[in-house]
């Protein structure tokens, strides 16, 4: 297995699979978030389920975290290898003439998303862990909506949130379809996959942005 | 005759090769492991020979000046490879391929060699398909064929306009397999500078590592020279820039006879010269003559108007065009052999009908083919009354599928769209039929030194037919040399490794180093290219498409003087001990300046017109070539005697028992 | 035309290189790019300077020898051609042209603009062939009918000239397009299927050993490939590799 993972193609497949996994996770995430706009009740119910269900907490959550770590770690490892593959740089290199910006800057969009994830973990995950396991507070199935909306109160966080999702959009724009190519899928369905990628890469991040702006503009009154 | 024993086996023509294979000596597999062979050149002939010899078990070393064997100029061959498969059922056979080749070569090649070539041609296709060469196919999944000049059947196998590339990659793959097994050691960016003889036998070479400049000694029990032709002595040609005669010429200077140096092929369909800085000419495949019609204006004033840009070729009415090949040679039309087509173009341009600025170009027009294909396609699509534009569009698509890469190449170079306006073409130097003299076993007059492919002289006579070069290169390498070389090496099974510290190697290395140092030391006024271009002008003007006694005599004198000047006034910058492209070029041009003189001497000796050798003094009243079978039915084989002008002519009488010598007619 | 050239000069593999400025006048549009360099070299030699070394051979776009990065792009500003097919009419009076060798760790510079592409050789040697002896004792060529579409696809992959523009264009200096073209040519034909698994494993292993970067599917290689080799080949190689690995 370790020998296999030394091959460039296998590593790219790992990137593709972990990426696709995260892409699917985004659907779940955005669905729950949308509930916060439509119906705070439902949002609370869903959030509580996610926070206290044993399967979700002790099986799915570790898998998700592992997926995130693998995707980022492999991404950086590949990037280092790629940089090393050109020991002397060009004096003039016009990458823009033959490849789109998004595809050439996945590491940049990825790094911004990683930084955002740091904030996101700090805001929600660490908060949750502290609430549940460190402070050992009793379960409160109705707190989620207010806590979430409160996070979007400060302007700076909302702006960071929007910027991050713009970069997520760019990352998806290339990454989603590209993962199919990495796994060897390039056939008559490819144009369809590419089109779907573009829709997905716009719609999903836009939904997140919409939610953030919505809560920022509609704070909970105390 | 002494030295010139062609060793043609006895017996009926069709059985010679089989009988010969049954009778020659073999080397047992265990002994092959103790025998080393050097192959110089890795094109179709060298690459296929190296792979086959290594498969048999010999230890092979290959040498090429390119950075990869795959880049040898065989890769540029466009049109196809002939084989007498008769897949089209149009009456082809080994005999017909043999006959067409002998006739196409104007009866100046050996019957036995040519028959063997035809005989193994089918094997080539089987072999290449087995290797995964992606030949063009029909919808039924079987191989497709097309026609080439000088024949009345469809026997040319092709892979779009990149047949040479695909065949070479096949041979290169076979080589790689042996490199991977350790049976071939491939020396790239290496140039052979001399042949080393021990006790009169070829026992190794001196080579220069073109990166480090180091001079290396390599020994072997036999040496194969497969280094291609010498057409680059014309400076402008369709050869690659690095093509040179060094390996063959230095072998000649070590005692191998050089045969028919004046037999050069001038290819009729090349992109015309555009300016003074031109470094090379580009071929437009002969396959284009399947569909293209060649013409010039009928009236001088129209030609003048076109040259001055006042008239467009597409504006000229059908009745004002002179399809001169169709007019002069109704049976073969645009598909006459190359020498005939080239001379006809020159004749029209000399008469003032040329169509580009310099007056040295004729049209190759696809309008008729586009219309014909378009109509066919529209019909099969059920478009009964398609308009002109639709027909044109459909036709262009078909022409693009057939010749797309050639059309694109043309447009890039000339900056005109050949789908809309006829191509302009003019003849250019393309191939040399002459080369090292070899016997039936492909051995030169030096024992143990073989020559294959374009580097030898054996199969094409005075003119090569299209798609026959690939056939010959692969036949020599895959199917002839692997057998015949064993006959010689059978005596070498007890010899053991050849030492490289002998006096012979010392001497050869010293001579090579002295020559390189001398080139560097001249520090004269003129660049290497200056001499190369001057030589090219002399060759083109006096030894080109038509020759005469006066010009040839002048050429001999001028080349000799130019060589003298070169050795006193050339400037080679840099050092001999580093990468030095100018030094590489200088060595090659030095050899061209010698072979050029022999070339002219050979042309002067041959008082007849045959194939690509056209002597103005010897022509029919209609301007066709006039052969002299009584006095010149021989191969000229020149022996080096210290200077080209002292070269001694030996004659190998050509015997024709199976074909009747006729005036070659394509009318 | 008057042109300002900035050209990479490097004495040998072990020296450090640098850009050197040259000015050229009287350049005609009909000249090829390499002919323009010929003229420059003639000038340099006449002036007693060392000419610029660059690789070139067939000058008709098929041998794959020429390997120049011109104004930041392999083989210059046009697509579907090699440097030798680039003509000066593509440039304007007063232009500055930056000329560098193809750059990759796996393609070290030998001198000036000449690079060492032996990495490609070793990838091919690892398995870029069908293991069939050249004895001529094979089956008749037409005994293996091949679907025209497959034959054409195989041909398209086989048109790769091995120039290295794909590596030069790739921001990661990846050799996936080159390797996949060879893998595909054989994978698409029945003759090549027999050894398909071994071939793809060996060639990919060698490609990785040479120190090329990884493919991030930017598609730059396909755009710059003089022969238009398609990205489909890379997907096919990925597929072949995965199934070969699954087979063990």
Do B67 and C32 lie within an 8 Å CB cutoff? no
Does any domain span residue A94? no
Positive or negative: CA dihedral B9, B11, B16, B18? negative
| Chain A with chain C: Cβ pairs closer than 8 A | 140
Are C120 and B186 a contacting pair at CB < 8 A?
no
Q: Determine the average pLDDT of the residues in A68-95.
A: 96
Question: Which of B428, B459, B483 lies at the terminal end of a domain, its last residue?
Answer: B428
Q: Taking residues B514-525, report their average pLDDT.
A: 98
Helix (H, G, I), strand (E, B) or coil at B27: coil
A92 in Cβ contact with C111 (< 8 Å): no
pLDDT one-digit tens code per residue, C86-136: 999 999 999 999 999 999 999 999 999 999 999 999 999 999 999 999 988
Residue B302 makes CB contacts below 8 A (sequence gap 6+) with: B311, B316, B320
Mean predicted confidence (pLDDT) in C27-45: 97
Q: Are strands C96-101 and C3-9 parallel, antiparallel or unpaired?
A: parallel
DSSP conformational letter for B139:
T
Predicted local confidence at residue A4, as pLDDT? 66
How many domains does chain B fold into? 2
Kindly report the CATH number assigned to the domain that includes residue B578.
1.20.58.100
Q: Is position B372 annotated as part of the catalytic site?
A: no
- Is residue A188 within 8 angstroms of chain C, CB to CB? no
Query: For A131-160, what is the mean pLDDT?
Result: 92
Cβ(B606)–Cβ(B649) under 8 Å?
no
Pair (C123, C192) in one structural domain: yes
Per the CB < 8 A criterion, the answer to whether B230 and B525 are in contact is no
Structure token digits, residue B12: 């009926």
3-state secondary structure chain A: CCCHHHCHHHHHHHHHHHHHHHHHHHHHHHHHHHHHHHCHHHHHHHHHHHHHCHHHHHHHHHHHHHHHHHHHHHHHHHHHHHHHCCCCCCCCCCHHHCCCHHHHCHHHHHHHHHHHHHHHHHHHHHHHHHHHHHCCCCCCCCCHHHHHHHHCCCHHHHHHHHHHHHHHHHHHHHHHHHHHHHCCCCCCCHHHHHHHHHHHHHHHHHHHHHHHHHHHHCCCCC
| Residue from A76, A78, A92 whose CB has the most chain C CBs within 10 Å, to mutate | A92
List Cα–Cα distances, B140 to A171, B197, C142, C146, C149, in angstroms. Answer: 46, 55, 11, 8, 11
Beta strands in chain C (DSSP E): 3-9, 18-24, 68-70, 73-74, 96-101, 109-111, 114-115
DSSP per position, B483-507 = HHHHHHHGGGTTT-PPPS-SHHHHH
Beta-carbon contacts of A108 under 8 Å, excluding residues fewer than 6 positions away, are A167
CB-CB under 8 Å, C211 with A84: yes
Measure CB to CB from residue B139 to each of C63, C117, C148 and give the nearest one. C148
Q: How far is B128 from chain C (nearest CA, A)?
A: 8
Per-residue pLDDT tens digits for B122-176: 999 999 999 999 999 999 999 999 888 888 999 999 998 899 999 999 999 999 9
Chains meeting B at 3+ CB pairs closer than 8 A? Answer: C
Name chain A contacts of C205, Cβ cutoff 8 Å: 7
- The answer for C 3-22 residues in CB contact with B (under 8 A) is 12
Pull the structure tokens for residue B105: 């070569």
Please name the residues between 382 and 441 in chain B that touch chain C, using a CB distance below 8 Å: 408-409, 412-413, 415
List CB contacts (< 8 A) between B582 and chain C. 45, 51
Cα A58 to its chain centre, rounded Å, is 20
Q: Is B378 helix (H, G, I), strand (E, B) or coil?
A: helix
Q: What is the pLDDT of residues C178-192, one digit of tens each?
A: 999 999 999 999 999
Q: Please identify among residues 600-659 of chain B the ones whose CB lies closer than 8 Å to any CB of chain C.
A: none
pLDDT of residue A130: 93
Residue B355's domain comprises: 269-428
CA–CA distance from A61 to each of A21, A64, A110, B204, B473 (Å)?
13, 5, 21, 72, 67
Does B44 reach chain C within 8 Å, measured CB to CB? Answer: no
Average pLDDT, rounded, for chain B: 96
Pairwise CB contact (< 8 Å): B165 & C120? no
Query: Tokens 């369909």 appear where?
Result: B269
Query: Does residue A100 belong to the interface with chain C, where contact is any CB pair within 8 Å?
Result: yes
Q: What is d(CA B75, CA A120) in angstroms, rounded to the nearest whole number?
A: 59
Whether residue B423 is found in the same domain as residue B326: yes
- In this structure, the answer to whether residues C130 and C222 fall within a common structural domain is yes
Pair (C122, C238) in one structural domain: yes
Structure tokens given for B620 = 């029919």
% residues pLDDT > 70 (chain B) = 100
Q: Report phi then psi at B509, rounded to 5.
A: -65, -40
Could you identify the residue written with the tokens 């196998």? B157
| Neighbouring chains to A with at least 3 Cβ pairs closer than 8 Å | C
Residue B350 above 80 pLDDT?
Answer: yes
Verify whether the Cβ–Cβ distance C204 to A7 is below 8 Å: yes
Burial class, B471, CB count within 10 angstroms (exposed 0-12 / middle 13-18 / buried 19+): buried
Domain boundary among B370, B394, B428: B428
| H or E element that contains B227 | none
Give the number of domains in chain A.
1
| B275 shares a domain with B416 | yes
Is C238 within 8 Å of A4 when comparing Cβ atoms? no
Q: Are residues C150 and C221 in the same domain?
A: yes
DSSP structure class, residue B239 = S
Interface membership of C98 toward B (CB under 8 Å): no
Q: For residue B226, which phi and psi values (nearest 5 degrees)?
A: -135, 55
Same domain, C17 and C92: yes
Percent of chain A at pLDDT exceeding 70: 97
Which of chain A's residues have a Cβ under 8 Å away from the Cβ of C215? 8, 12, 182
Contact C218 A10 (CB under 8 A): no
Q: Let me know whether B405 and B510 are in one domain.
A: no
Contact B527 C28 (CB under 8 A): no
Is B395 found in the same domain as B295? yes
CB-based contact B66:B189 (threshold 8 Å): yes
Q: Which of C72, C218, C241 sits opposite A9 (nearest CB)?
A: C241
Q: Do C127 and C217 share a domain, yes or no? A: yes
**Mutant choice from C17, C217, C221 vs A, greatest count of A C-beta within 10 A:** C217
In eight-state DSSP terms, residue B349 is I
CB proximity C114 to B under 8 Å: yes
Check residue B276 and give its pLDDT. Answer: 87
B609-624: per-residue pLDDT in tens? 999 999 999 999 988 9
Task: Work out whether strand C96-101 and strand C68-70 pair parallel, antiparallel, or are unpaired.
Answer: antiparallel
Residue C21 CB partners (closer than 8 Å, separation 6+): C4, C5, C6
d(CA B192, CA B207): 4
pLDDT confidence of residue B453: 98
Tell whether B132 lies on the interface with C, counting CB pairs under 8 A.
yes
Do B277 and B413 share a structural domain?
Answer: yes
In a domain, B73, yes or no: no
Query: Which residues form the domain of C176?
Result: 118-135+144-247
CB–CB of C65 and B66 under 8 A?
yes
Q: Residue B449: beta bridge partners?
A: B223
Say if CB C176 and CB C234 are below 8 A apart.
Answer: yes
Structural domain containing residue A24: 4-83+102-217
Residues C41 and C128 in one domain: no
Q: For C119-128, how does the pLDDT look when each residue is reduced to its tens digit (9 = 90+)?
A: 999 999 999 9
| Closest residue in C to B242 (Cα–Cα) | C57
Please check whether residue B373 touches C, CB under 8 A.
Answer: no
Mutate to test the interface with C, among A2, A98, A109, A171 (most CBs of C within 10 A): A98
Is pLDDT at A121 greater than 70 in this prediction? yes
The token duo for B470 is 């690939």
Mean pLDDT of B243-257: 98
Please state the separation of Cα A144 from the chain's center in Å: 21
| pLDDT at res. B3 | 64
How does pLDDT run across B71-122, given as a tens digit for each residue?
999 999 988 999 999 999 999 999 999 999 999 999 999 999 999 999 999 9
Instruction: Check whether residue C9 and residue C107 sit in a common domain.
Output: yes
Which runs of consecutive H residues, i.e. helices, occur in B300-434? 300-307, 324-328, 338-348, 367-380, 388-414
Chains B, C: CB contacts under 8 A, how many? 212
- C100 and C178 in a single domain? The answer is no
pLDDT, position B667? 86
Q: Which residues of B touch C131 (CB under 8 A)?
A: 177
Domain-embedded: residue A135: yes
Q: How far is C246 from chain B (nearest CA, A)?
A: 25
Is C100's CB within 8 Å of A6's CB?
Answer: no
Q: Is B142 in contact with C145 (Cβ distance < 8 A)?
A: yes
Q: Which residues contact B469 (CB under 8 A, 6 or more apart)?
A: B77, B431, B453, B454, B460
Most confident stretch, A132-146, B150-164, B185-199: B185-199
What sign results for the dihedral spanned by CA atoms B175, B176, B182, B187?
A: positive
Whether residue C71 has pLDDT greater than 60: yes
What is the mean pLDDT of the segment spanning B344-373? 95
Q: Both C43 and C83 in a single domain?
A: yes
B10 CB burial (10 A radius; 0-12, 13-18, 19+): exposed
Residue among C72, C173, C207 whose CB faces A92 most closely: C72
Last residue of a domain, one of C61, C95, C111: C111
In a domain, B357, yes or no: yes
For residue B642, what pLDDT is reported?
Answer: 97
Put simply, whether B29 touches C (Cβ < 8 Å) is: no
pLDDT in tens, B634-666: 999 999 999 999 999 999 999 999 999 998 888
Give the model's confidence band at A1: pLDDT under 50 very low, under 70 low, under 90 confident, else very high: low
Element (H, E) at B193: strand B190-198
Both B410 and B505 in one domain: the answer is no
Q: Are B465 and B150 in contact (CB under 8 A)?
A: yes
Residues of C in contact with B416 (CB under 8 A): none
Q: Do chains B and A touch (3 or more CB pairs under 8 A)?
A: no
Please tell me which of the candidates C6, C172, C214 has its beta carbon nearest to residue A11.
C214
The answer on C122 and C226 residing in a single domain is: yes
Between strands B362-365 and B293-297, the pairing is antiparallel
Domain count, chain C: 2
Residue B509 included in any domain: yes
Sort out which chain B residues have CB atoms less than 8 A from C60's CB and list them.
76, 238, 280, 282-283, 409
Query: Predicted confidence band at A222 (pLDDT cuts at 50, 70, 90)?
Result: low
Distances B406 to B22, B38, B96, B181, B418 between C-alpha atoms, Å: 45, 36, 30, 38, 10
What is d(CA B544, CA A153) in angstroms, rounded to the nearest whole number? Answer: 88
Which CATH number fits the domain that encloses residue B372?
A: 3.90.700.10
The full 3-state SS of B403-460, as one line of letters, equals HHHHHHHHHHHHCCCCCCCCEEEEEEEEEECCEECCCCCCECCCCCEEECHHHECCCC
A91 domain-assigned = no
pLDDT at B1: 40
Query: What is the model's pLDDT at position A3?
Result: 61
B30-38 average pLDDT score: 97
Give the ipTM of the model, two decimals please.
Answer: 0.98
Q: Per-residue pLDDT for B327 more than 70?
A: yes
**DSSP result, B76-129:** G--S-EE----TT-SS--HHHHHHHHHHHTTT-S-HHHHHHHHHHHHHHHHHHH
**Separation in Å, CA of C171 to nearest CA in chain B:** 25
Q: Is the per-residue pLDDT at A220 higher than 90?
A: no
Shared-domain flag, residues C163 and C64: no
Shared-domain flag, residues B515 and B415: no
- Assigned token pair, B305: 């108007």
Q: CB–CB of B445/B248 below 8 Å?
A: no
All residues of chain B having their beta carbon less than 8 Å from the beta carbon of residue C24 are none
Of B307, B338, B348, B588, the active-site residue reads B338
- Is there a contact between C36 and C27 (Cβ–Cβ < 8 Å)? yes
């Amino acid at each position: 297995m370790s020998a296999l993972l030394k091959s460039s193609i296998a590593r790219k497949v790992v990137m593709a699979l972990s990426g696709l996994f995260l892409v699917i996770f985004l659907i779940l995430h955005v669905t729950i978030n949308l509930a916060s706009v439509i119906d705070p009740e439902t949002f609370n119910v869903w959030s509580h389920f996610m926070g206290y269900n044993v399967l979700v907490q002790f099986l799915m959550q570790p898998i998700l975290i592992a997926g995130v770590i693998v995707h980022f770690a492999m991404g950086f490892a590949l990037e280092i290898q790629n940089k090393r593959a050109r020991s002397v740089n060009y004096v003039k290199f016009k990458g823009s003439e033959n490849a789109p910006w998004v595809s050439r800057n996945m590491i940049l969009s990825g790094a911004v998303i990683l930084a955002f994830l740091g904030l996101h973990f700090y805001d929600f995950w660490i908060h949750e862990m502290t609430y549940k396991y460190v402070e050992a507070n009793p379960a409160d199935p109705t707190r989620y909506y207010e806590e979430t909306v409160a996070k979007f109160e400060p302007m700076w966080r909302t702006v960071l949130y929007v910027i991050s999702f713009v970069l997520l959009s760019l990352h998806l724009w290339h990454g989603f379809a590209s993962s199919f190519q990495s796994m060897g899928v390039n056939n008559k369905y490819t144009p369809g996959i590419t089109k779907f990628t573009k829709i997905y890469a716009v719609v999903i991040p836009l939904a997140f942005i919409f939610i953030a702006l919505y809560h920022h503009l509609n704070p909970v009154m105390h | 005759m002494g030295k010139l024993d062609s060793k043609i086996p006895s017996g009926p023509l069709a059985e010679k090769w089989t009988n010969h294979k049954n009778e020659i000596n073999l080397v047992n597999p265990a002994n092959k492991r103790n025998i080393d062979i050097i192959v110089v050149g890795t094109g179709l002939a060298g690459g296929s020979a190296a792979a086959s010899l290594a498969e048999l078990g010999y230890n092979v070393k290959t040498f090429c000046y390119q950075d990869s064997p795959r880049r040898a100029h065989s890769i540029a061959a466009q049109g196809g490879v002939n084989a007498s498969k008769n897949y089209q059922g149009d009456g082809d056979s080994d005999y017909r391929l043999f006959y067409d080749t002998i006739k196409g070569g104007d009866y100046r090649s050996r019957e036995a060699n040519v028959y063997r070539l035809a005989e193994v041609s089918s094997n080539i296709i089987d072999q290449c398909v087995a290797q995964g060469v992606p030949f063009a196919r029909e919808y039924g999944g079987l191989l497709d064929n097309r026609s080439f000049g000088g024949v009345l059947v469809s026997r040319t196998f092709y892979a779009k306009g990149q047949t040479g590339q695909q065949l070479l990659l096949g041979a290169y793959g076979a080589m790689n397999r042996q490199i991977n097994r350790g049976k071939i050691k491939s020396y790239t960016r290496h140039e052979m500078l001399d042949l080393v003889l021990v006790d009169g036998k070829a026992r190794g070479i001196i080579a220069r590592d073109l990166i480090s400049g180091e001079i290396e000694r390599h020994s072997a029990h036999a040496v194969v020279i497969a280094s291609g032709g010498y057409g680059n002595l014309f400076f402008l040609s369709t050869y690659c820039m690095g093509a040179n005669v060094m390996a063959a010429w230095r072998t000649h200077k070590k005692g191998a006879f050089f045969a028919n140096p004046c037999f050069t092929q001038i290819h009729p369909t090349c992109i015309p010269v555009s300016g003074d800085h031109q470094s090379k000419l580009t071929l437009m495949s002969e396959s284009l003559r399947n569909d293209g019609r060649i013409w010039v204006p009928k009236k001088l004033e129209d030609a003048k108007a076109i040259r001055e840009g006042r008239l467009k070729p597409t504006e000229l009415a059908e009745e004002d065009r002179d399809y001169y090949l169709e007019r002069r040679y109704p049976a073969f039309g645009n598909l006459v052999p190359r020498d005939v087509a080239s001379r006809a173009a020159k004749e029209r341009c000399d008469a003032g009908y040329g169509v580009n600025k310099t007056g040295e170009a004729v049209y190759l027009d696809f309008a008729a083919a586009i219309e014909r294909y378009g109509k066919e396609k529209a019909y099969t699509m059920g478009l009964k009354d398609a308009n002109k534009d639709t027909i044109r569009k459909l036709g262009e698509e078909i022409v693009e599928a057939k010749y797309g890469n050639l059309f694109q190449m043309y447009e890039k170079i000339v900056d005109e769209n050949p789908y809309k306006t006829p191509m302009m073409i003019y003849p250019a130097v393309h191939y040399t039929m002459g080369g090292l003299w070899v016997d039936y076993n492909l051995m030169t007059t030096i024992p143990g030194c073989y020559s294959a492919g374009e580097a030898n002289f054996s199969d094409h006579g005075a003119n090569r037919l299209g798609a026959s070069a690939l056939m010959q290169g692969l036949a020599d390498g895959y199917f002839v040399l692997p057998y015949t070389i064993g006959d010689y090496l059978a005596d070498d099974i007890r010899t053991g490794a050849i030492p490289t510290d002998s006096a012979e190697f010392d001497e050869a290395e010293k001579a090579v180093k002295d020559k390189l140092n001398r080139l560097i030391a001249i520090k004269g006024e003129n660049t290497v290219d200056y001499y190369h271009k001057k030589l090219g002008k002399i060759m083109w003007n006096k030894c080109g498409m038509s020759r005469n006694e006066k010009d040839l005599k002048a050429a001999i004198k001028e080349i000799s003087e130019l060589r003298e000047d070169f050795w006193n006034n050339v400037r080679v910058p840099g050092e001999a001990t580093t990468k030095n492209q100018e030094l590489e070029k200088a060595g090659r041009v030095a050899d061209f300046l010698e072979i050029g003189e022999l070339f002219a001497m050979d042309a002067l000796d041959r008082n007849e017109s045959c194939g690509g050798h056209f002597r103005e003094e010897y022509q029919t009243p209609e301007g066709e070539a006039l052969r002299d079978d009584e006095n010149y039915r021989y191969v000229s084989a020149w022996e080096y005697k210290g200077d080209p002008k002292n070269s001694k002519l030996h004659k190998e009488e050509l015997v024709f028992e199976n074909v009747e010598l006729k005036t070659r007619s394509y009318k | 035309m008057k042109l300002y050239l900035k050209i990479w000069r490097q004495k040998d593999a072990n020296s450090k290189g640098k850009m050197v400025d040259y000015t050229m006048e009287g350049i005609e549009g009909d000249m090829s790019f390499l002919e323009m360099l010929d003229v420059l070299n003639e000038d340099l030699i006449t002036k007693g300077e060392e000419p610029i070394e660059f690789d070139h051979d067939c000058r008709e776009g098929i041998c794959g020898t020429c390997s120049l990065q011109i104004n930041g792009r392999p083989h210059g500003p046009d697509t579907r051609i090699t440097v030798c097919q680039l003509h000066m009419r593509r440039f304007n009076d007063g232009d500055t042209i930056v000329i560098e060798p193809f750059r990759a760790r796996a393609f070290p510079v030998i001198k000036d603009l000449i690079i060492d592409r032996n990495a490609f050789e070793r990838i091919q040697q690892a398995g870029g062939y069908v293991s069939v002896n050249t004895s001529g004792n094979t089956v008749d060529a037409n005994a293996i009918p091949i679907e025209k579409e497959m034959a054409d696809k195989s041909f398209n992959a086989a048109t790769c000239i091995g120039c290295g523009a794909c590596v030069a264009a790739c921001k990661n200096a990846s050799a996936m397009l080159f390797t996949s073209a060879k893998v595909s040519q054989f994978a698409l034909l029945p003759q090549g299927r027999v050894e398909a698994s071994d071939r793809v494993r060996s060639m990919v292993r060698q490609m990785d050993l040479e120190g090329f970067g990884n493919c991030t599917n930017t598609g730059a290689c396909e755009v710059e490939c003089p022969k238009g080799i398609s990205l489909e080949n890379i997907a096919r190689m990925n597929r072949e590799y995965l199934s070969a690995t699954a087979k063990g």
